Structure 1
């Protein structure tokens, strides 16, 4: 079991590399990797189940113990990222289907990798886990409603079915994971050890599949989409930190909220795009998965050097 744990840790630390490799492979071998598109939803469900096995009721109690930073983090997550996404689609006059994809990823909850990046950035991990957990639980309601608000003029949003889909893809697997943790107790540590390995393999496969299906769009608009994604992620980081600072939070809390705001559950964005829109709409989420892995690692390195210089 220690071998699995060590392998998971190593793969987790090098995720940005695997994300880039998977995108390149999907681009070079589109016929092969496009065939995995039908597994996007089940893969995300498995990842969410794994997330559920790592959660505890204390992760949700944090909002009672420390309501202000959790609520500020959630409000920033679900207001800033959709708004930034919408403004970017207007400024860059994006193709409607790509614009929907950009707004979609902005409306998604925080990503699980944000907890790892917060830890590496020496941020408040408990706060990060709480915001991720609660934003994920709120996603079936807030993600479709926000998408309707910011992208309703571009396409008809099937609110009821999308809410049901997110519940099936995210909430039910997480609840099953929580139940598994409750019933098995410490025995579930085997799953926890393997979780980073499974999650990263799954996300890498999703990235490769979306890149493969969107190869023609990448050739014509790939650079523009990449620029928009980088700006979306970066502005999210900066605004998250600024709002946390203005709210009077300490440095560890600022870093946690910064990362939570800037990093999205882009896997959910890909899954929803594949179910309700088109592979092209999933492209911003796929690129976001690659980029926020890179930017998260850079952010952690920045704070590591900053803390070292401050000593």
Structure 2
């Protein structure tokens, strides 16, 4: 793949496809979805706080324990600041979670991320203590503007279309979701092909760190939600939403805004590797619930 094509994929196709994904999310949302979640504000707040606070804390812990180099550390922390995405909604659906809660958490954090993510990442780079950390400086206002254009604006447009043309919006949702999913897979494949060094890196300490972030986020979020008396359906939804991040946002920031392909290595790895613990977690949830259902089934005694 030529450098021109690689640059086009990273700096043009990736933001366009990410915007299409967010448009599809907006088309799926209605005001009533937020109202339904707000009826149980405690659950939504737990989900928000775990995603906004737990993930960065876990990332800092993993960076310290694994002694990641500067580039890998910056990439992992950038990933931890990203919202969930369509993948987290899909896993929540498969796990028989609360899909409305999942979509609401994804959409709200996605709409906040243009403002929170750049500030938090700049803070991390500033206080990381690395002498060469200036190479990963994120231009604050331009980053907020570009993130808003790619994530916030398409979501608002999608919601507006859904509000004013409900029937048409519902008819195109399946097409947009299918098309954006295929397009994202093609873009990620192209990015991997242009960054083939990522494949052996998956078997290194960096790959283990990526998997550890996903695994710990799923388990700890599920545990904390349970301790806070969240019902099982919402509990597994929160765990998946916290544990499954939108790697596309991190890749867009690395490639398009910062022009640092090396910074995208961790998000690229995550986009491929996180499916393994996520599927195992969902499989465990489904079988765990099946086991409970069998235990609570009434026993029939023949007269």
Larger radius of gyration: 2
Deviation at 1:264, TM superposition (A): 0.8
Instruction: Report the secondary structure of 1:215's partner residue.
Output: coil
* Equivalent position to 1:276, from 243, 258, 261: 258
User: Where does residue 121 of structure 1 map in the other structure?
Assistant: 95
Tell me whether 1:211 sits opposite 2:181 in the alignment.
no
User: Where does residue 122 of structure 2 map in the other structure?
Assistant: 148
Query: In the aligned structure 2, how far is the partner of 1:237 from the partner of 1:220?
Result: 23
User: Where does residue 146 of structure 2 map in the other structure?
Assistant: 165
Maintained 8 Å contact 2:210/2:270: yes
Instruction: Report the secondary structure of 1:264's partner residue.
Output: coil
Query: In the aligned structure 1, how far is the partner of 2:187 from the partner of 2:59?
Result: 22
What are the within-5 Å matches in structure 2 for residues 104-253 of structure 1?
104-152=78-126, 153=128, 154=133, 155-216=136-197, 218-219=199-200, 223-253=204-234
Rate the CA distance shift 1:121–1:305 in 2: closer, same or farther, 3 A. same
User: Where does residue 36 of structure 1 map in the other structure?
Assistant: 9
Any idea what the Cα deviations from partners look like across 1:93-115, whole Å, max 9, x if unmatched? Answer: 22222221111110011122212
User: Where does residue 15 of structure 1 map in the other structure?
Assistant: none
Any idea what the Cα deviations from partners look like across 1:135-181, whole Å, max 9, x if unmatched? Answer: 11111111112212333333323221211111011001111111221
Query: In the aligned structure 1, how far is the partner of 2:72 from the partner of 2:5?
Result: 21
Instruction: Report the secondary structure of 2:84's partner residue.
Output: coil
Query: In the aligned structure 2, how far is the partner of 1:209 from the partner of 1:100?
Result: 23
Q: Which runs of 5+ in 1 are unaligned?
A: 1-28
Query: In the aligned structure 2, how far is the partner of 1:297 from the partner of 1:196?
Result: 20
Maintained 8 Å contact 2:202/2:269: no
Maintained 8 Å contact 2:202/2:208: no
Query: In the aligned structure 2, how far is the partner of 1:30 from the partner of 1:306?
Result: 49
Normalized per residue, the structure richer in helix is: 1
Query: In the aligned structure 2, how far is the partner of 1:260 from the partner of 1:280?
Result: 26
Rate the CA distance shift 1:117–1:221 in 2: closer, same or farther, 3 A. closer
* Equivalent position to 1:288, from 249, 254, 270: 270
| TM-score when normalising by structure 2 | 0.86
Query: In the aligned structure 1, how far is the partner of 2:219 from the partner of 2:2?
Result: 35
Which range moved further: 88-97 or 48-57?
88-97
Query: In the aligned structure 2, how far is the partner of 1:225 from the partner of 1:49?
Result: 32
Query: In the aligned structure 2, how far is the partner of 1:217 from the partner of 1:53?
Result: 34
Instruction: Report the secondary structure of 2:274's partner residue.
Output: helix
Any idea what the Cα deviations from partners look like across 1:79-126, whole Å, max 9, x if unmatched? Answer: 111121122122222222222111111001112221221121122222
Query: In the aligned structure 2, how far is the partner of 1:111 from the partner of 1:293?
Result: 13
Instruction: Report the secondary structure of 1:192's partner residue.
Output: helix
Query: In the aligned structure 1, how far is the partner of 2:53 from the partner of 2:36?
Result: 21
User: Where does residue 49 of structure 1 map in the other structure?
Assistant: 23
| TM-score when normalising by structure 1 | 0.84
